[in-house]
Structure 1
Amino acid sequence: MAETFVDLGFVTAPSGVLVLGMASWIDYWRELGQPLPDRARKAATFGGGHLRDWLCEAIAVPVADDQPLRVRASTAPSPFDEEPTIATLEISLGIQWPETADRVVPIRLGDLPVDRCGMVLGDASGLDAWTGMNDEPADGLADVTYWGRYEDDAHAQFGGERIAQYGVDGPRGWPDLPLAEAAARAAELTGWCDRLHGKGLMVSIDKHTDFNRFRRAGWQHPLHVGAIEVGGCQVLGIEWDQGDHSIRHRGERDAGQVYPVTLEADEAGGMVMRWTIPPYGLDNEDE
């Protein structure tokens, strides 16, 4: 039976090179010597390929530099909660499949694990400006959220709006606070809980880095997909449900949990990149 795809949005790649990489490590490429754009450009020169250095991994491919690139996905039910999760991620590259190449045989570029912190799809040069979870936000703002056993008591004492997310109520808190105010608010909550309860309240400060902006952008999407601008380019971020990740993808590459990325021809003869995550089988579960 043919897969049914849903549109996730589009990305732009004015450099002519597109990257699918692990969100945890996008900002680390420049710490390891050669910047990501240089590595990706070299791989794209040869038609695309897999990049790996330390814990950083990505796939880079050549794409059209003058048009939006459509991103779609097919889904399968998660073994964790039966909610839909991505089974095949497909990106239209904006270029035609070579007339001399066999359309039936996919070209394998490598494989990627599902990063616990999500995946990022965007322009290789634009992603060189990516700010990771430990960086400082360009807008000087952060979100403060709290949850746990004493959440209702904290709400009665301090307030805070419910931050709705797809399918769940989400934590309470205050979005878009200046950093100093966010730190003071979080310290106030933590100090209150320590004095009265000792533990039972989780408090988080999420600075508006690109890492946290893409997660926030996907709060209302059933597949946790969000679009943000990075380095003047539209980027898509895909976050994985933590329960689903622990069931299907835990251990990532060290545990052999990696999935193939291929170049293929679509029905119209256009070139697409596909990342295929096979269905979970209970018979494959570790004993």
Structure 2
Amino acid sequence: MAGSIDQWPEIGDPLSMRALAAAGFGGGHLREPADSPSSEWWCKAVAMPAAADQPLKVRAEPWVSYDGPVISILEVDLGLPWPSNRGRSPIRLGDLPVDRCGMVLGDARALDSFIGLNGDSVDGLADVTYWGKYADDAHVRFGGERTPQYGGQGRYGRLDLPLRDAHEFADRIRSWGPCTGLMVSVDAHSHFHLLDRAGQVHPLLAGQIEIDECQVLRLGWDPGDHSMRHRGERAWNQVYAVTLEQADTTTLLRWTIPTEAEESDQTEN
């Protein structure tokens, strides 16, 4: 869950230590608090060993929700043979909610250094964006370009500015006359923001960056789909099974999120 990756060291062992321990048992569901039932806002993850000599193959099966495509099945080919002592039935590892901040797939050791939503810039740069009632007028006065966005036009803004320049530029816009209804944001280049930015041009809001020489993938979530189907997350039992499954000779990690039609069928049954 992207919203809590950098909180793991604050509440106990680092994510990599927890993941390594789980890998010794063939994988497992990680959560905090570890000694009581998982609660809504604590950290959650699923950790599995994977082949170290090849990239992970990731496949998503989408369906169209309220505002666009969302994931119904996420599969990760772990590059490891299916253990002969496990039989052929799927193995349930646990369950995960859909984090409104997105979901992240990557090496646990790299994620130990993840800089989250409100963290510092990793490269000394930041992005400034502005939008709202007077955005076109502000653009005439202050300039900037439309930021990339899948399926439409993004906000006006200037990307990759030095932090000081970014804040000065944002302050000039905020102090401008007709400011009511004009929103301005300064986003430091944290890992969270860079992943979010990388995914804005993808239909599933999927973007990747490199952290500590490892590729990390983030999957965003359509806000309408989250608010209508996944809001409340674990507190409202909006959690979805993560399983290990056999595919020919290899092992798949699968996260299954029922479509709205499937949820209706389950309710009726």
Structure 1 length-normalised TM: 0.86
In the alignment, what sits opposite 2:78?
93
1:141, 1:128 → 2: CA distance? 22
List per-residue Cα deviations over 1:63-120 (Å, max 9, x = no partner): 1112111011111111x12x221110000101011123322x1000000001001011
Structural mapping, 1:1-287, within 5 Å: 22-53=1-32, 55-78=42-65, 80-81=66-67, 83-103=68-88, 105-192=89-176, 196-266=177-247, 268-281=248-261, 283=264
Partner-residue secondary structure (3-state), 1:246: helix
Contact 2:122 2:191 in 1 (8 A): no
2:253, 2:199 → 1: CA distance? 22
List per-residue Cα deviations over 1:222-252 (Å, max 9, x = no partner): 1110111112111101111112211111111
1:75, 1:118 → 2: CA distance? 16
Gaps of 5+ in 2: 34-41
Letter in 2 for 1:34: D
1:66, 1:245 → 2: CA distance? 36
Q: How many residues align?
A: 257
Letter in 2 for 1:49: G
Gaps of 5+ in 1: 1-21
List per-residue Cα deviations over 1:110-162 (Å, max 9, x = no partner): 00001001011000111101111222112100000000011111111111101
RMSD: 1.5
Partner-residue secondary structure (3-state), 1:100: helix
Letter in 2 for 1:270: T
- Decide which moves more: 107-116 or 226-235: 226-235
Contact 2:16 2:108 in 1 (8 A): yes
Letter in 2 for 1:100: N
C-alpha deviation, 1:198, in angstroms: 4.8
Moved over 6 A (4+): none
List per-residue Cα deviations over 1:160-197 (Å, max 9, x = no partner): 101121012010000000000101111111111xxx33
Partner-residue secondary structure (3-state), 2:167: helix
Letter in 2 for 1:124: A
Partner-residue secondary structure (3-state), 2:3: coil
2:152, 2:229 → 1: CA distance? 21
Partner-residue secondary structure (3-state), 1:68: coil
Partner-residue secondary structure (3-state), 2:157: strand
2:148, 2:75 → 1: CA distance? 29
